[in-house]
Amino acid sequence: MGNGFELMFRYQQTVETCLDGFRKNDQAQILSCLTDDIEWAVFGAFHLTGKEAYDAAIEGPGFISPPRLEVVRMVEEGDVRDGKICERRAWVIELKENDHR
């Protein structure tokens, strides 16, 4: 396995570890996957910067755990962030009762 594949696998493992932390409501596990200057944008809701703000958001009122999370796309640009997540973008999709649910 070449170096590029090893880095991509490492990034995927980090993302899976982070998502697993959300599913288990394990804040320490989630935070261990993030850079100190993490940026998190939930379009139509909020934008925050920094691990401390991220931590406050996932433990504050209104955070419903465990959320249903789906990875749409991962972007890697070399191993410049020590294999940690430096940006997260999300869209909140409201689920309504219908014939398909």
Q: Where are the alpha helices (DSSP H) in 1-101?
A: 3-24, 27-31, 51-59
> What pTM was computed for the model?
0.74
Alpha carbons within 13 A on the beta-carbon side of 43: 4
| 21-50: pLDDT as tens digits | 988 889 999 999 999 999 999 888 899 999
- In the three-class reduction of DSSP (H, G, I as helix; E, B as strand; rest coil), residue 8 is classed as helix
Report whether 91 contacts 43 (CB < 8 A). Answer: yes
Domains of the chain: 3-91 (3.10.450.50)
Query: What is the dihedral angle through the alpha carbons of 36, 10, 23, 26, rounded to the nearest 10 degrees?
Result: -50
Return d(Cα 1, Cα 9) in angstroms, integer: 10
Question: CB neighbours (10 Å) of residue 65?
Answer: 11
Q: With a cut of 70, list the residues of the chain below it in pLDDT.
A: 1-4, 60-67, 77-80, 95, 99-101
